[in-house]
A and B are shown apart, each in its own frame.
Chain A
Amino acid sequence: MSFPWAKQYEPQQPLMKWLDEKLPLPRLVYNAVGAGYPVPRNLNYFWNFGVLAGAALAIQIITGIVLAMHYAANAGVAFNSVEHIMRDVNAGWFIRYAHMNGASMFFIVVYLHIFRGLYYGSYKAPREMVWLLGVVIFLLMMATAFMGYVLPWGQMSFWGAQVITGFFSAIPVVGEPIRVWLLGGFAPDNAALNRFFSLHYLLPFVIAGVVILHIWALHIPGSNNPTGIEVKDEQDTVPFHPYYTAKDGFGLGIFLLMFVLLTFFSPNLLGHADNYIPANPLSTPAHIVPEWYFWPFYAILRAFTFNFLWIDAKLWGVIAMFASIALLFFLPWLDSSPVKSSTYRPLYKKFFWVLVFDVLLLGVCGKMPAEQPWVVLSQIGAAYYFAHFLIILPIVSRIERPAPMPNSITEAVLAKHADDMSAAATA
């Protein structure tokens, strides 16, 4: 499951030799993220985001376990227990703000990780399984983040739970019983809060499990790289350690810097003031909005304001929102171009940037109230999102004429090096 020239683990100390015979855990680590994993030599900084997502997950799990020591999942006291964490628990404010902003940082790096994959064609054969598991992780993250947001039992928590579980009531006939079953009541209350807490504690460990599968599946073909050309021989790769442990370490430093800037100087920048008002089942806030990382999907949900065919607007919105993510499962087969990297795909590259703009536009629409011009913009944005994957991508991958490609990673690297040298010489 690795290249034949991968370095072999050879323990020197007697204790490590003894351990290697009984339980070869150090060997596993060595082959996964040590010198035993050969990686393309030309990775750029966009390849940092996988490790950063792993770090963010670790931060969420650690801060989350600590918060659970002080939090009480009971509708009567949940809000006050969060205030107790903020005011009374030693360093509680820091741990909670780190957990709150850690979720945002997690989504930031995961979105960059996803768009890196889209730009460099990392979802294509032979890495389809890596992509599919990644989409599963993304879905699990969304479920976890949603349930976590309910726990403080503020106004946004409560109404978020009401609206999101309301999605299920759009399903014909069985929808309402499913909603009541999920909530354990007719509206969000103690039963819902308790089960959300239980699942919010469980799912991160499920995510960690799927992350292991994601890395396992990645290490069979090995990492993609900015040229999208597969590794051909030893000179195309360098060992993960020390080359990429060092590069990822540098990236991690920048990531942590951003994280503490946000946590210490603007901890509520990405939150909503309404969530510091205790949940009130009899009054909806004037403007309900999810956390920023759900805005594009929320915009797609709200884009359907009219009944169409025999399906009503509400069900269309819910179907479209789920489909916008489910679509990603089919991506490896919607794009049939054998060329992976956008560097050599002049036409795809343009549409990639249009998609980035479209998702950002949907994000803004999701934040804004359901009024014009945002409704029309989210309709256009949602239509384009689906068109990108279902129409544009299959056509582009058939008609596009790729740019000339180097024969190997090494050739690409040396050509770039020669260009730099001649540029330096002429300068």
Chain B
Amino acid sequence: MASETNLNAGIEEGVRRRDFINIAAVSFAGVGAVAVVLPLVNQMNPSADVLALSSTEIDISAIETGQAIKTSWRKQPVFVRNLTATEIAAANKVPLSELRDPQTLAERTKVGKENWLITLGVCTHLGCVPLGAAEGEPRGDFGGYFCPCHGSHYDTAARIRKGPAPKNLVVPPYEFTSDTAVTIG
């Protein structure tokens, strides 16, 4: 043992071959460990069948002015509301400076279809379903939606006006495939 050390000391100065082998081996094992962790982490992301539910067709022909329906997209509730002229006027009257998450009604609807307000029915606070889509449910202080969990009030354009939620109700990606049909997602 002692003679071997002396032998090494005699031949190699500074970084030894063994140091290189140690660092290379441990680094390679580290890279391997990270490579194994990746699929273990990624398996928790939404699976292909969950992602496959990512577009939904809705028929809006039966929704009268002033009415709203609740449907579902990616397992999340969606509100489709046919706004009345009064509600549109109320939404357009609000100055943007008064809004926590400033957006106009026009920005939240499609051109020429300003009466169709399509949003997720998921409160941007902690994800409860706000009330106000069904007949007779409370619609909050601003005549839109009201979340009973922690008291967030949304206005007629489903914009946050009061309570703990930070953002307006999310407008999902959608398009009108005809006058009476909408595809979400």
Contacts and interface: CB of A to CB of B under 8 A. Distances in A.
A302 B150 contact: yes
A304 B163 CA distance: 10
Interface in A287-327: 287-288, 302, 304-305, 307, 312-315, 317
B145 to A, nearest CB: 12
A313 B123 CA distance: 14
Contacts, number: 88
Interface string A151-188: 00000000100110111010000000000111011110
A413 interface: no
A338 B129 CA distance: 52
B50 interface: yes
Nearest to A315: B166
Interface in A189-221: 189, 191, 195
B125 to A, nearest CB: 6
Contacts of B100: 307
B164 A184 contact: no
A166 B127 contact: yes
Interface in B22-73: 41, 44-47, 50, 70, 72
A313 B46 contact: no
Contacts of B126: 162-163, 166-167, 314
A288 B164 contact: no
A167 B47 CA distance: 22
Contacts of B128: 159, 162-163, 284, 288
Contacts of A286: 148
Most B CB atoms within 10 A — which of A159, A184, A186? A186
Contact of A195 (B44, B50, B74, B166): B44
Nearest to A164: B126
B127 to A, nearest CB: 4
A282 interface: yes
Contacts of A195: 44
A282 B77 CA distance: 6
A187 B44 contact: no
B127 A313 contact: no
Contacts of B45: 180-181, 184
B92 interface: no
B166 A163 contact: no
Contacts of A312: 166
A59 B151 CA distance: 39
Contacts of A307: 100, 166
Counting chain A residues whose Cβ lies within 8 A of the other chain, the interface size class is 35 or more
A26 interface: no
A283 interface: yes
Contacts of B75: 185-187, 189, 281
Contacts of A181: 41, 44-45
A185 B121 contact: no
Contacts of B41: 181
B169 interface: no
A163 B166 CA distance: 15
A313 B50 contact: no
B127 A184 contact: no
Interface in B126-185: 126-129, 147-151, 163-166
Contacts of A371: 151
Contact of A191 (B46, B147, B150, B151): B46
A259 to B, nearest CB: 32
A265 B50 CA distance: 43
Given A282-B129, A284-B128, A189 B50 contact: yes
Given A304-B164, A305-B163, A370-B151, A184 B125 contact: no
A370 B149 CA distance: 7
B76 A281 contact: yes
A317 B70 contact: no
Contact of B46 (A163, A184, A288, A305): A184
A186 B76 CA distance: 7
B164 A187 contact: no
Contacts of B50: 184-186, 189, 191
A166 B128 CA distance: 9
B147 to A, nearest CB: 8
A313 B166 contact: yes
A388 B77 CA distance: 42
Contacts of B47: 184, 191
Contacts of A186: 46, 50, 74-76
A180 B76 contact: no
Contacts of A283: 129
A185 B166 contact: no
Contacts of B74: 185-187
A321 to B, nearest CB: 11
Nearest to B148: A286
B129 A314 contact: no
Most A CB atoms within 10 A — which of B41, B124, B126? B126
A180 B149 contact: no
Given A159-B128, A167-B126, A314-B125, A180 B72 contact: no
A240 to B, nearest CB: 43
Given A166-B126, A185-B50, A305-B164, 19 more contacts: A180-B45, A180-B46, A181-B45, A184-B44, A184-B45, A184-B50, A186-B46, A186-B50, A186-B75, A187-B127, A284-B128, A284-B148, A286-B148, A305-B151, A305-B163, A314-B125, A314-B166, A315-B166, A317-B164
5 contacts: A167-B126, A181-B41, A187-B76, A191-B47, A314-B164
Q: Closest 4 CB pairs between A and B?
A: A166-B126, A166-B127, A284-B128, A312-B166
